[in-house]
Chains A and B, each alone.
Chain A
Amino acid sequence: MMSALRSPLVGLILRRLLMAVPLLVVVSALTFVLVSFAPGDPVAGILGPNATPEAYERMRALLGLGQPLHVQYWHWLQGALHGNLGTSLYTGESVSKAIFDRSSVTLSLAVGSLLVSVVVGIGLGLVSAISRGPLARIVDVFALLGWALPSFWVGAMLILLFAVNLRLLPATGYVPLATSSAEWARSLVLPVAALSLGGIAAVTKQTRESFLDVLSTEYIRMAWANGVRPWSIYLRHAMKNASIRVVTILGLLAVGIVGGTVLVESVFALPGLGSLSVRASLQHDLPVVQGIVVLVTALVVVVNLIIDIAYAVLNPRVRTT
């Protein structure tokens, strides 16, 4: 047990988790200040222009908005440390519940897109690296298109083709997994396709370049010379080393995909965290914005930690530093 704790990898994990705490506090405080200073009064947005002055004051007092900023933040922080993220200024709904109801949608979309990006991207990158000639060119062009085409446009085109014209898949909406696994999958096909295109392009390019570098190394040439079978060379000998650079970009890709869910959720009318964050930002619904920012920050920390662990597993030299 003690030797395990002294392991560099465990040390890395513990250091990252400890750093996450002050990071979350700083991010939440910054968000609080930025949203508070954004133009517009949330009470004015809630009550509209025709409410009486007394109604404004009553609502401000009810929502605790009359207190100094640092007092409001302190109350929020105390609640957050006890698992209470507050209530929405607009709907009165618990922020935790609002986030929980929607997080499965965004997670399904983001994880699905990441998986598709990795599997398809690595596959295409591998094929492109092995082949020469037209196939490699086609993959290159596809990668370029994937980077260039915005996900929301791709989404709209996919809806037009597969939902409106062919009526094969739904145009909008999300079906929870608990309701029907088949419908859940169907509701995610088009959004995941739209969101993963850019990721596939990035992973394809990175995989291809990485494989080309690894395949030109001495030990691979030796494997060819020794008559090792091709797929054994690609998948057993080259893949692990080529994956190191691919894993490096996965962290950035994951964060980019989470950010990309905002537009895709709008196009497909998915009830995820992206659409909730847009609505809450426009409404100055501070507790909801705070809750989402804290959650996303925690997710980014976890994703980066997983990437670091994967990197250490793939590259033993990292474990000793």
Chain B
Amino acid sequence: MPSRAGGPAGSSRRRRARTALATLAAAVLGVGLLAGCTPGTPGTASTGGPAVLRVGISADLTGLNPATTRTDRPIKPLAYESLIQLNSAGKYVPGLAASWSYFDGNKGFELKLRPDAKFSDGTPVDAKAVKAWIDYMGVAGGPYTGRLGKITSIEIVGDLTVRLHLAAPYPSVEGILATTPWGQIAAPSAVASPKTLNTETVGAGSYKLDAARSVSGDSYVFMPNEYYYDKAAVQWSEIDVKVISNPTSMLQAIQSGQLDVAVGNPSTAAAAKGSGIEVVTATSAVETLILDDLSKGSPTGDLRVRQAMNYAIDRKALAQALVGTYGAATSAMSPGNGQVPAYEDYYAFNPDKARTLLAQAGYGKGLTLKMLEPSWKSNLTQAVASQLAAVGITLNVTTAATPADYVTQIKSKSYAIVNQDLPTDADVWTVWTGTLQPKSLFNFTNWEVPELSSLINSAATSGEAHYWTDITKAVTEKAVFVPLYKVDAVYFVSKAVTGVKLSEASGGIPLISDWKPVK
């Protein structure tokens, strides 16, 4: 019987087999290396002529039509410059509107448009275009419909002046125009045919989307808008935006030179710094337990219970464990125009005081509260639950599996506590209308705190700056929320780009128009 592989003939065959295998392996390796050495390596910005900016974002755009989707800052404003902009320092600055003012006790808002702004289809940004957009926003049925309150009329005064007349005082119109799609106006031709807004951009921003080279959910290519009013501000020949949801992949993309700026993550920031990448951070939100029911008779309707919950939380330990150096403990909300740094330590960790307050409120034997947690924050919930349990408050937790499930469950109005992060670019009025105002989603029992209501009513008509900090103080003193810690936005910046700036007041969101290539 011939041996399959034994004997002198077999050893000769083995030698030939090994030689063939080695040759094959060398050929495969050679082809691979040759492919790797092909010129035109991705990951390097073009060195001749204007630069291409490559940006990595971790969450996809929610869609292209501003009226039916979210603001998607800082990307969507590339194509849809707002009437008023929130700059990287958190200040409201002119965008398509050159100036603005309130009148009639904050029931009126006047915008004066700049004369040279044009949409990417070449049509002018005028008062008629603004009116058409605001009319469309009111009926589009998107996430922000209804956020501007009831608009009784829109008055056109000449070509470049628009007046909004509101049914009730609204002292934060500039905030709404700067941070929501109400200000991201599209050309009247697109408003007349809204389906086009799902597949292309027709705004007045410095860039416009190249739909043919973009893949929804993956990559978006922006080219300069030839009609933009400030050509000198257009720093890039092209902006390529890539969606990379995996934080490690994002880090590796910028480490390998494929990206110039990337939305980072605290878990990968140390590795980024270690590889010579600049890490830019700023507070973007305050992780908060929102108490949905402050009505009389409910446990959380008692100020002592709410204050006990605040005293029971060791915020420093929580922040250290969950966000490390990319956040900080805080007892106070941090809205863009109402920050009170002195109140950040208002409720110093004191479990004994928490127990005393609970006992005074009649809950010396403990109480149980229903809480809704998003599944991606289960670590936070476990930590909070154990700290509250130590003072006698038991959390009966329901987990929402997905963002859609989370919102659906909130709307069920079944929970005393909901975990939500409050962005720091939202001003006090936005926080009020979104989470505190009777009939808002998080105030389904229409509770009112008299001191707070009084301040709100005064702030609504006067808009004086001190009211915003007064409201923050009142919210903290009355323990309306249980703020936990601030969370930082993290950006990774390569050596090819300069000007990436963030601030707490801007919600940790930069303005891409600030970014310039390093010459």
A-to-B contact residues, CB < 8 Å: 38-42, 44-52, 54-55, 58-59, 62, 88, 90-93, 98, 101-102, 123, 127, 130-132, 135, 156, 159-160, 162-164, 166-173, 175, 180, 182-183, 185-187, 189, 215-216, 221, 224-225, 230, 266-269, 271, 275-276, 279, 282-284
Determine if B253 is an interface residue (Cβ-Cβ < 8 Å). Answer: yes
B-side interface mostly: loop
Determine if B518 is an interface residue (Cβ-Cβ < 8 Å). Answer: no
Q: Which residues of B contact A162 (CB under 8 A)?
A: 36
Nearest CB to that of B213 among chain A residues?
Answer: A179
Which bracket fits the contact residues of B?
35 or more
CA distance A186 to B245 in the complex (A): 22
Of the residues B13, B65, B146, B243, contact of A269 by C-beta under 8 Å: B243
Of the residues A101, A172, A225, contact of B249 by C-beta under 8 Å: A172
A185 adjacent to B35 (CB under 8 Å): yes
B441 adjacent to A40 (CB under 8 Å): no
* Contact (A41, B36) CB under 8 Å given A90-B63, A93-B216: no
Of the residues B36, B40, B68, B142, contact of A169 by C-beta under 8 Å: B36
Nearest CB to that of A45 among chain B residues?
Answer: B404
Interface stretch (choices B181-189, B406-414, B464-472): B406-414
Which of B2, B144, B199, B257: most chain A Cβ within 10 A?
B2
Q: Which residues of B contact A48 (CB under 8 A)?
A: 70, 143, 407
Closest Cβ–Cβ distance, residue B174 to chain A (whole Å): 19
Determine if B5 is an interface residue (Cβ-Cβ < 8 Å). Answer: yes
Q: Which of B224-251 contact A (CB under 8 A)?
A: 242-246, 248-249
Of the residues B14, B32, B215, B434, contact of A131 by C-beta under 8 Å: B14
B63 adjacent to A224 (CB under 8 Å): no
Nearest CB to that of B406 among chain A residues?
Answer: A40
Beyond A50-B440, A51-B145, A55-B145, 17 extra complex contacts between A and B, CB < 8 Å: A40-B408, A41-B405, A44-B408, A49-B407, A51-B146, A130-B5, A130-B17, A132-B5, A156-B252, A166-B36, A168-B33, A170-B41, A186-B42, A221-B2, A224-B2, A266-B245, A269-B243
Q: Which residues of A contact B144 (CB under 8 A)?
A: 50-51
Q: Which residues of B contact A171 (CB under 8 A)?
A: 43, 249, 252-253, 255-256, 258
Determine if B122 is an interface residue (Cβ-Cβ < 8 Å). Answer: no
6 A-B pairs with C-beta separation under 8 A: A50-B440, A88-B216, A170-B41, A171-B253, A182-B38, A283-B402
Of the residues A50, A51, A159, A279, contact of B60 by C-beta under 8 Å: A279
A92 adjacent to B63 (CB under 8 Å): yes
Interface string of B22-66 (1 = CB under 8 A from A): 001000000011011110111100000000000000001011110
Q: Which residues of A contact B402 (CB under 8 A)?
A: 38-40, 45, 282-284
Closest Cβ–Cβ distance, residue B117 to chain A (whole Å): 27
B-to-A contact residues, CB < 8 Å: 1-2, 4-6, 13-14, 17-18, 21, 24, 32-33, 35-38, 40-43, 60, 62-65, 68, 70, 141-147, 195, 198-199, 215-219, 242-246, 248-249, 252-253, 255-258, 275, 400-408, 410-411, 434, 440-442
A167 adjacent to B258 (CB under 8 Å): no
A-side interface mostly: helix
B41 adjacent to A167 (CB under 8 Å): yes
* Contact (A170, B219) CB under 8 Å given A45-B402, A269-B253, A282-B402: no
A44 adjacent to B404 (CB under 8 Å): yes
B141 adjacent to A175 (CB under 8 Å): no
